[in-house]
Chains A and B, each alone.
Chain A
Amino acid sequence: MNSRIKTLRAKTREKEVSLSHERAGLVTDFYKTYISMNESIPVQRALCLKYVLENKKIYIEDNELIVGERGPEPKAVPTYPEICLHSLEDLEILNSRPKVAYKVSEETRRIYKEKIIPFWKGKTIREKIFAVMTEPWIDSFHAGIFTEFQEQRSPGHTAGGDLIYRKGFLDLKSDICQCLGKIDFFTDHKALEKQEVLKSLNIAADALISFANRYVDELDRLAATEKDASRKVELQTMAAVCKRVPAHKPETFHEALQYYWFLHVGIITELNPWDAYNPGRFDQNLYPFYKRDIENGNLTREQAKELLSCFWIKFHNHPAPPKVGVTAKESNTYVDFCLINLGGVTPDNKDGVNDLTYLVLDVIEEMRLLQPSSMIQVSRKNSDRFIKRALKIIATGFGQPSVFNTDAILQEMALQGKSVEDARLAGASGCVEAGVFGKESYILTGYFNLPKIFEVTLHNGWDPRTKKQIGLKTGNPKNFKTFEELFDAYQQQLEYFVDIKVRGSNIIDQINAAHMPVPLLSLVTEDCIENAKDYNQGGARYNTSYIQGVGIGTLTDCFSSLKFYIYDEKQISMEEVLTALEKDFSGDDILHHQLKKAPKYGNDNDYADDILKQVFRAFHGAVTGRPNAKGGVYRIDLLPTTCHVYFGEITGALPDGRKAGIPFSEGISPVQGADTCGPTAVLKSAAKIDHLRTGGTLLNQKFLPELMKDEKGVQGIVHLIRSYFKMDGHHIQFNVVDEKTLRDAQKNPQHHRDLIVRVAGYSDYFVDLTVALQEEIIQRTAHNIY
């Protein structure tokens, strides 16, 4: 790492995250003063974006090479009052909460109080949503049956495709012009609507070009006064780059990076789409520019690395927009889930790994920043060398890159009816969600609390926490004679709550379609221009809505316990279980212990894993294929971000032996500590889920650095990945743990049953080792935490 990058990296890491009123202030000014009520809503939104980009502060960091900040300075995070208006109390919570805080200045509070709150109160999307949701929706939301992704953030969840590397914004403007000319005002009843959408896209293109031109002016100004000769040349080069992109299609590696970055800043300034935006298949998209520049002698590998490092820092400068309430609980992090995709296959289905892939992996290793996130796509066509290179980074305990199965993603896309050509452009964004980059809107609508629905089933539709009848009356479980009756009751409740969720999301989609179009995001998402339809109206080629199931491991183990002890072995009665759950197992140690010993998911044991398949089928069946409001369908994902903690918090004791308030199993990982047969057993169990019928599953595996320290250890992981992917597993990530976790494992071994250690000539579970050996292993573990 050279001194420029070292300094920039230190700056972005040390900079405190703050909340900026800049955007909220400009948006308020625009709507108060400049808006013409005669304009259509899409045009208003585009003009609003243009106003913000033409009036916000231009910031250029000393010695940076890629420019563009969303806030007035790095890590100054804007707010989006048209979506979610923060109260003064919210601002105080954001300012002072112990985790994921955003510093809020006195000035910001004053501006909020005097200008922003008075103007936006009663006009936000969040308020619109809550005003029209039905009582069952509100009750389910407050009970924690599901969360709602769109209550504080706009729909987004997409990644950039290859469009911007083929076309400049001027090219897109001429496409718009052509489409405008084709509108048929004689027979098409949507002609006016289409015209307004196309006009809005055209304005959005101008908005981003103006923004780039403001950087040109500022760079020219800085260059004119710059004393250092080499920096002066750099500033002149940067100005020349910003003059070309995004107006024109990029010609150089530098231009391609800067183009993407302007677009990224534009999209996350336009609104706060969930999962920000994403450069998608990064090495695929950038490689032609890299190759050409290197071959022409216009770029060295070192210069490319420096540009990439500067690019990485820009992501790190942009923490997620501030979240409060349930949204903060379900996704409690600064990370905004931009996920860099590397590897996989090319559009003509060949090994997609190239020189740039390895260079980017070098950058990921060296930068070691929480943002952007990174992943590798592994196809059977990719070499082991590629996986091993990534594992070297993973082995440092960084948790990145995560590992995805390209062959599974291709099949998932094909099963969803996408064309082969489009499927090969697919990848994963956010956490693990698969979609066709640049052509698909695949929004997440919210997490879905599977174990809570089970709890409600055990209470005949009653929620013991909010003390309300929120579900159906499916019968007193004491009267269920068979496991099938119990399962049937659960399935009825599940379908009931899915109905509530889908109904709500269809309404929310319509609210966003009518009130919150996103012209800039639409401009770069294929086929919005051709369809003359906004992204939020279903303009993209594909439109999918996901409901993300949480706690499938916990749910499986709950069913397994009851099936085993009540219906098969007949050792315990439902009444005994219910009584123990109500008391959170206090005074019922024997029963508690017994329930914990039932067959558990994650051990390659068909008793539990068959139940897993059954609960998966029920969830999949209840959701998949239902139409959404954008011409697409609903599908399922299995991932939690931090929602398994929130959902656990609001759910009482469960029959798998989990006590009230404890987090659920995470992703499709087994319940913490329930898997005791090693990683191959976990992978076998996890592969019993029909991954190909989802849009993404998340499997976490925790390893000690010792297990990956030598060639044989790394090779072992390569084989684990290959075998899991042969079984169509979607994703796996490795947690190579640090001392802190091990210390906690010593104090709370019951939470760390699945922690594997490489002892010497064999592997074992950490908690099974004697204290002396644990101590020894702790000493060996690398103290390398960031």
Chain B
Amino acid sequence: MMDNPAIFKIQRYSIHDGPGIRTTVFFQGCPLSCRWCHNPESQRMPGKISSEEMDKLVAKLMEEIEKDMIFYDDSGGGVTFSGGEPLSQPKLLFRLLDQCQEKEIHTCLDTSGYADPEILFSISQITDLILYDIKLIDEAAYKTLTGKSVSPVLNNLKLLSNRKTNVSIRFPLIPEMTDTEENIADVISFLKENTDYRDIHILPFHKAGEGKYELLKMKNHMKDIAAPSPKRVAKVKEQFEFNGFNVTIGG
């Protein structure tokens, strides 16, 4: 493997990254730096690769993806591209999606939505389902907690909705950050006013990434923040449901 490879992990038997049994391919590199990120090692952008290396990589990844075909067929699963932010490596992503489409493998793209609209649009046309993160609506809060502007994220989602793209919304429930009364109300009204999407997955914050911060010697903003209580999660679920959403807890 290269020092800074394009893909940082492949996880077979993922059952919470879209429907059925899936293989999740984690892309290296993310434009955001969310405070609660549980894959902080994936944030750094990968090194450039030649087209020859790209061919080899695609072949190798496809071989890995195809290994679990029998499980995808039986469970209605497939492959999920996650990260990092897969849209930050559009060429690789496009090649993989294209091949999966040819081989009739169901594809999910797990994205923050922070991407060039042209790229997102062209990718969305060959993706079966987009798992789209809506974290915060307020510009200032988004900027503080992720490092970037929220407007491309919101505009892109509107665009996808207008084009009737198949999207499943994912809302990370992070105490003190996304889990505030205002933000939840904002998310609800944004989705209702600007999109047709009414299926939402609430992803409660967990401490899984904690140790990685120590290993990477990165500052962990979440040290003193606990996972939301089941009671709180149920309350938020109820609030979304009251507003006409179909809610699932977890991916």
- Do A and B share a complex? yes
Could you tell me which A residues sit within 8 Å of B by CB distance? 604, 677-681, 684, 710, 712-713, 715-716, 719-720, 722-723, 726-727, 759-764, 769-773, 776
10 A-B pairs closest in CB distance: A770-B211, A760-B206, A719-B75, A716-B15, A678-B12, A678-B13, A759-B208, A723-B74, A723-B71, A680-B13
A770-B206 contact in complex given A716-B15, A719-B74, C-beta closer than 8 Å? no
| Cβ proximity bits B211-251 to A, threshold 8 Å, 1 near / 0 not | 11010000000000001000000000000000000000011
A761 touches B251 (CB 8 A): yes
A773 touches B208 (CB 8 A): yes
A720 touches B250 (CB 8 A): no
Q: Distance in Å from the Cβ of A157 to the closest Cβ of chain B?
A: 33
Given contacts A681-B12, A762-B17, 11 further A-B contacts (CB under 8 A): A712-B15, A719-B20, A719-B74, A720-B13, A760-B204, A760-B227, A762-B11, A762-B24, A769-B208, A773-B210, A776-B207
Q: Distance in Å from the Cβ of A646 to the closest Cβ of chain B?
A: 33
12 examples of A-B residue contacts, CB within 8 angstroms:
A678-B11, A679-B13, A680-B21, A712-B250, A719-B74, A719-B75, A720-B71, A723-B21, A762-B208, A763-B15, A772-B211, A773-B208
- What CA separation (Å) do A604 and B64 show in the bound complex? 10
A677-B12 contact in complex given A719-B20, A761-B250, C-beta closer than 8 Å? yes
- Secondary structure dominating the interface of A: helix
Interface residue? B16 (CB, 8 A): yes
- What CA separation (Å) do A680 and B77 show in the bound complex? 13
B67 touches A763 (CB 8 A): no
Q: Distance in Å from the Cβ of B90 to the closest Cβ of chain A?
A: 24
Could you tell me which B residues sit within 8 Å of A by CB distance? 11-17, 20-21, 24, 38, 67-68, 70-71, 73-75, 77, 203-204, 206-208, 210-212, 214, 227, 250-251
Q: Nearest CB to that of A719 among chain B residues?
A: B75
Query: Which B residues are in CB contact (< 8 Å) with A762?
Result: 11, 14, 16-17, 24, 208
- What CA separation (Å) do A496 and B13 show in the bound complex? 42
A716-B75 contact in complex given A684-B67, A726-B70, A727-B70, C-beta closer than 8 Å? yes
Which residue of the partner chain, among A678, A710, A770, A771, contacts B250 with CB atoms under 8 Å?
A: A710
Q: Distance in Å from the Cβ of A214 to the closest Cβ of chain B?
A: 55
Q: Distance in Å from the Cβ of A597 to the closest Cβ of chain B?
A: 15
- What CA separation (Å) do A719 and B74 show in the bound complex? 6
Q: Nearest CB to that of B170 among chain A residues?
A: A761
Query: Which B residues are in CB contact (< 8 Å) with A727?
Result: 70
- What CA separation (Å) do A119 and B214 show in the bound complex? 73
Query: Which B residues are in CB contact (< 8 Å) with A677?
Result: 12
Q: Nearest CB to that of B12 among chain A residues?
A: A678
Q: Nearest CB to that of A681 among chain B residues?
A: B12
B251 touches A773 (CB 8 A): no
A712 touches B208 (CB 8 A): no
Q: Which of B203, B208, B210 has the most chain A CB atoms inside 10 A of its CB?
A: B208
Q: Distance in Å from the Cβ of B63 to the closest Cβ of chain A?
A: 11
- What CA separation (Å) do A630 and B179 show in the bound complex? 73
A763 touches B13 (CB 8 A): yes
Query: Which B residues are in CB contact (< 8 Å) with A759?
Result: 206, 208
- What CA separation (Å) do A773 and B67 show in the bound complex? 30
B208 touches A680 (CB 8 A): no
Q: Nearest CB to that of B75 among chain A residues?
A: A719
Q: Distance in Å from the Cβ of A678 to the closest Cβ of chain B?
A: 4
Q: Nearest CB to that of B24 among chain A residues?
A: A762
Which residue of the partner chain, among B24, B71, B207, B210, contacts A680 with CB atoms under 8 Å?
A: B71
Q: Nearest CB to that of A764 among chain B residues?
A: B208
- What CA separation (Å) do A469 and B73 show in the bound complex? 53
Which residue of the partner chain, among B11, B24, B211, contacts A773 with CB atoms under 8 Å?
A: B211
- What CA separation (Å) do A710 and B15 show in the bound complex? 11
B12 touches A680 (CB 8 A): yes
Q: Nearest CB to that of B215 among chain A residues?
A: A770
Query: Which A residues are in CB contact (< 8 Å) with B212?
Result: 770
B250 touches A719 (CB 8 A): no
A773-B207 contact in complex given A681-B12, A710-B250, A716-B15, C-beta closer than 8 Å? yes
Q: Nearest CB to that of B227 among chain A residues?
A: A760
A681 touches B210 (CB 8 A): no
B15 touches A761 (CB 8 A): no
- What CA separation (Å) do A684 and B66 show in the bound complex? 12
Query: Which A residues are in CB contact (< 8 Å) with B68?
Result: 680, 684
A604 touches B67 (CB 8 A): yes
A719 touches B14 (CB 8 A): no
A763 touches B14 (CB 8 A): yes
A772 touches B74 (CB 8 A): no
B206 touches A719 (CB 8 A): no
A770 touches B13 (CB 8 A): no
Q: Distance in Å from the Cβ of B135 to the closest Cβ of chain A?
A: 14
Query: Which B residues are in CB contact (< 8 Å) with A715?
Result: 15, 75
B74 touches A761 (CB 8 A): no
Query: Which A residues are in CB contact (< 8 Å) with B251?
Result: 761
Query: Which B residues are in CB contact (< 8 Å) with A710?
Result: 250
Query: Which B residues are in CB contact (< 8 Å) with A773?
Result: 207-208, 210-211
- What CA separation (Å) do A723 and B38 show in the bound complex? 31
- What CA separation (Å) do A681 and B64 show in the bound complex? 10
A712-B210 contact in complex given A720-B21, A760-B204, A762-B11, C-beta closer than 8 Å? no
B211 touches A719 (CB 8 A): no
Query: Which A residues are in CB contact (< 8 Å) with B207?
Result: 760, 772-773, 776
